[in-house]
Amino acid sequence: MKQYSLILFLSSVIVFFTTTTATTTLPASLSSNATFPALIVFGDSYADTGNNNYLNTIAKCNYPPYGINFEGGTPTGRFGDGEVFPDLIAEGLGIKRTIPASLDPSLTPQDLLTGVSFASGGSGFNPRISQSRSALSMTDQLKQLKEYIEKLKQNGGEETTDYIISKSLFLVVAGSNDVPSATAGNFQLDVPSYTSSVIKLASDFMKKLYGYGARRILVVGVPPFGCLPSQRTLGGGLQRDCDQNYNDASKLFNSKLSSMLDSLSETLQDAKLVYFDYYNSLLEIIQSPQNYGFEVADRGCCGTGLIEVLWLCNKYTASVCPNISAYLFWDGYHPSERANRIIISKLLDKSIPMLL
């Protein structure tokens, strides 16, 4: 019976990819038969596809004008004007059009087979960060993974579940709330000490993922925080320059994160842990926006673009810029869908082949 379930699953995967690859162009660096059955996601607002809609938290964006470029112009709880990292990666790999939130009550068994996002806006590797924002901590997200695995077993059996978990792509986009807290001195530690403590928590998280069966793990570094519109306003002076202290903290964290992942790749049997350099990928666009067709790179599209994010970006007090595609950032913290597409195209070309 288990064998029969696995055959049925593999048949459905073949049919799925046959029907989707006709409309999805894979990067040239990917071979046509290199596929992942599912995308399973963890992290913060850069990867949350709507989980915070179902939490008692102020970190929500399930209202206009968020989602203005999403299907039907619908706000879904994604932190941007349209699709976010998990959606674009899943689309680029031919897995499915968008990645649903794990807490969405309308999830179907088919949704589970091809992956979900456990990410929660406001989360961080440090559980105190998540607690302060009433977000799902990374530990909470691991608990949800355990429940997800049990649901897979109920729907398809042990062999199907083992196949999905061992062959799927696990995406981790976290740290974006930890690093600013380090720079602000919220935990009475200097930046080097605090970033090292967060990296230890991140390492523990990766090991637990491995313990659940994950073997291909893609980890996205943190962006150049000092160049985000809101931080330019808060710490960039009258000229709103990039805040170098925040950028230095980001670079330090990313350096430690990359080294940690390299070390784990050597010690965890049959595992591949790959780091994606989000910092320089985004900074390159910020420094040369015209090369990518952007006209505005220091302000967001929502409201004045100086500080608006979350509830400050709303249809009552914040107007939307007339040409969203000209703006690198949607709000004071999150890039626009168009910018995300450019960044994810780099990720698909550079990082995915290292996981195959």
From 117, 140, 334, 351, active-site residue: 334
Output the pLDDT for position 307: 95
Q: Which residue has the tokens 């690859």?
A: 21
Q: What is the pLDDT of residues 314-331, one digit of tens each?
A: 999 999 999 999 999 999
Output the pLDDT for position 180: 85
Q: What CA–CA distance (Å, rounded) separates 314 from 74?
A: 14
Band (1; pLDDT cuts 50, 70, 90) = very low
Output the pLDDT for position 337: 98
Output the pLDDT for position 261: 98
Decide if 45 is catalytic. yes
From 45, 137, 168, 230, active-site residue: 45
Q: What CA–CA distance (Å, rounded) separates 12 from 184?
A: 50
Band (189; pLDDT cuts 50, 70, 90) = confident
Decide if 81 is catalytic. no
* Side-by-side strand order, sheet with 39-43: 39-43, 169-173, 216-220, 272-276
Residue 21 or residue 236, greater confidence: 236
From 123, 140, 331, 336, active-site residue: 331
Q: What is the pLDDT of residues 199-222, one digit of tens each?
A: 999 999 999 999 999 999 999 999
Band (89; pLDDT cuts 50, 70, 90) = very high
Q: What CA–CA distance (Å, rounded) separates 279 from 224?
A: 5
Q: Which residue has the tokens 């925040």?
A: 246
Candidates 23, 174, 38, 165; CA nearest to 100 is: 38
Q: What CA–CA distance (Å, rounded) separates 299 from 307?
A: 8
Decide if 334 is catalytic. yes
Q: What 3-state class would DSSP assign to 169? A: strand
Are 297 and 305 a contacting pair, CB within 8 Å? Answer: no
Q: What is the mean pLDDT of the chain?
A: 90
Band (187; pLDDT cuts 50, 70, 90) = low
Total residue length of the chain: 356
Mean pLDDT of the region 226-235: 97
pLDDT > 90: what percent of the chain? 86
Mean pLDDT of the region 74-92: 97
Residue 5 or residue 145, greater confidence: 145
Q: Both ends of the chain: CA-CA distance in Å?
A: 30
